[in-house]
Copies of this chain bind each other. A is one copy, B any other.
Amino acid sequence: MTGAEVMLAALRAKGVSVCFANPGTTELDVVRAFETAPELRCVVGLQENVCTGAADGYGRMLERPAATLLHLGPGFANGIANLHNARRARTPIVNIIGDHTSWHLPYDAPLTSDIESLAWPVSGWVHRIAGTADIALATMEAVDRTRNNGGQGTTLIFPADFQMAPCDAGAPDGASPAGRDESVEEDAPFDAAAAADRLKSAGRILFLLGGGGPESGLGARAQRAAARLCAILPAHAYAETFPSRSERGVGLPGFDRLPYFPEPARKALDPADLVVLVGALPPITYFGYEGHDSRMVGDERLLTLCLPGENAAERLEAIADALNAPAYTAAPVDLPAVPEGSLTPAGIAAVLARELPDDAIVSVEGGTCGYPFYAASAGARPHTALTNTGGAIGQGLPVAMGAAVACPDRKVVALLSDGSTQYTVQTLWSLAHEGLDVVVLIAANHQYAILRNELRRGGAALSAQAEAMTSLDNPRIDWVQLAQAYGVSASRAATTDELSEQLKNAFVVKGPALIEMAL
> CB within 8 Å of B: which residues of A?
21, 23-26, 28, 31-32, 34-35, 42, 44, 46-47, 49, 73-75, 77-78, 80-81, 84-85, 88, 100-104, 106-111, 113-114, 117-118, 120-122, 160-161, 242, 284-290, 294-295, 389-392, 394, 419, 422-423, 425-426, 429, 432-433, 450-451, 454-455, 463-466, 468-470, 472, 474-482, 484-487
User: Known interface pairs A32-B455, A120-B117. Does A394 touch B47 (Cβ–Cβ under 8 Å)?
Assistant: yes
Nearest opposing residue in chain B for A69, CB measure: B469
- Distance in angstroms from A30 CB to nearest chain B CB is 10
- Distance in angstroms from A432 CB to nearest chain B CB is 5
Check A465–B117 contact: CB distance below 8 A. Answer: no
**Residues in B whose Cβ lies below 8 Å from that of A287:** 25-26, 100-101, 104, 109, 111, 160
User: Known interface pairs A84-B113, A389-B110, A450-B25. Does A432 touch B475 (Cβ–Cβ under 8 Å)?
Assistant: yes
- Distance in angstroms from A90 CB to nearest chain B CB is 12
Closest 8 CB pairs of A and B: A475-B487, A104-B288, A101-B288, A74-B392, A77-B80, A481-B485, A482-B485, A111-B391
Check B120–A160 contact: CB distance below 8 A. Answer: no
**Residues in B whose Cβ lies below 8 Å from that of A106:** 294
Q: Which of B109, B121, B294, B476 contacts A118 (CB 8 A)?
A: B121
Check A469–B284 contact: CB distance below 8 A. Answer: no
Given A109-B284, A118-B121, output 5 extra A-B contacts at Cβ < 8 Å. A25-B454, A47-B422, A47-B423, A103-B294, A476-B487
Check B422–A46 contact: CB distance below 8 A. Answer: yes
Check B391–A110 contact: CB distance below 8 A. Answer: yes
User: Known interface pairs A107-B294, A242-B110. Does A423 touch B46 (Cβ–Cβ under 8 Å)?
Assistant: yes
- Distance in angstroms from A462 CB to nearest chain B CB is 9
CA A268 to CA B315, docked complex, whole Å: 73
Check A161–B390 contact: CB distance below 8 A. Answer: no
Can you list 16 residue pairs at the A/B interface with Cβ under 8 Å? A23-B469, A25-B287, A34-B465, A47-B422, A75-B392, A78-B78, A88-B110, A103-B288, A109-B287, A109-B294, A114-B120, A117-B117, A118-B118, A477-B486, A481-B484, A482-B486
CA A463 to CA B35, docked complex, whole Å: 7
CA A289 to CA B65, docked complex, whole Å: 33
Check A80–B118 contact: CB distance below 8 A. Answer: yes
Check B23–A451 contact: CB distance below 8 A. Answer: yes
Nearest opposing residue in chain B for A80, CB measure: B77
Check B469–A31 contact: CB distance below 8 A. Answer: yes
Nearest opposing residue in chain B for A388, CB measure: B110
Check B74–A110 contact: CB distance below 8 A. Answer: no
Query: How many chain copies?
Result: 2
CA A469 to CA B429, docked complex, whole Å: 14
**Residues in B whose Cβ lies below 8 Å from that of A295:** 107
CA A238 to CA B376, docked complex, whole Å: 66
CA A451 to CA B80, docked complex, whole Å: 23
CA A94 to CA B75, docked complex, whole Å: 22
**Residues in B whose Cβ lies below 8 Å from that of A463:** 32, 34-35
Q: Which of B23, B118, B482 contacts A482 (CB 8 A)?
A: B482
**Residues in B whose Cβ lies below 8 Å from that of A34:** 463, 465-466, 469
- The CB with the most chain B CB atoms within 10 A, among A81, A160, A426, is that of A81
Check B466–A31 contact: CB distance below 8 A. Answer: yes
Check B477–A485 contact: CB distance below 8 A. Answer: yes
Check B77–A84 contact: CB distance below 8 A. Answer: yes
- Distance in angstroms from A143 CB to nearest chain B CB is 22
Q: Which of B28, B389, B454 contacts A455 (CB 8 A)?
A: B28
Nearest opposing residue in chain B for A21, CB measure: B469
**Residues in B whose Cβ lies below 8 Å from that of A285:** 104, 109
User: Known interface pairs A25-B287, A390-B111, A450-B25. Does A478 touch B469 (Cβ–Cβ under 8 Å)?
Assistant: no
CA A466 to CA B4, docked complex, whole Å: 14
- Distance in angstroms from A290 CB to nearest chain B CB is 8
CA A470 to CA B71, docked complex, whole Å: 14
- Distance in angstroms from A20 CB to nearest chain B CB is 12
User: Known interface pairs A101-B287, A121-B73, A425-B425. Does A451 touch B25 (Cβ–Cβ under 8 Å)?
Assistant: yes
Nearest opposing residue in chain B for A464, CB measure: B35
Q: Which of B81, B390, B466 contacts A110 (CB 8 A)?
A: B390
**Residues in B whose Cβ lies below 8 Å from that of A32:** 455, 463, 466
CA A49 to CA B455, docked complex, whole Å: 25
CA A432 to CA B478, docked complex, whole Å: 13
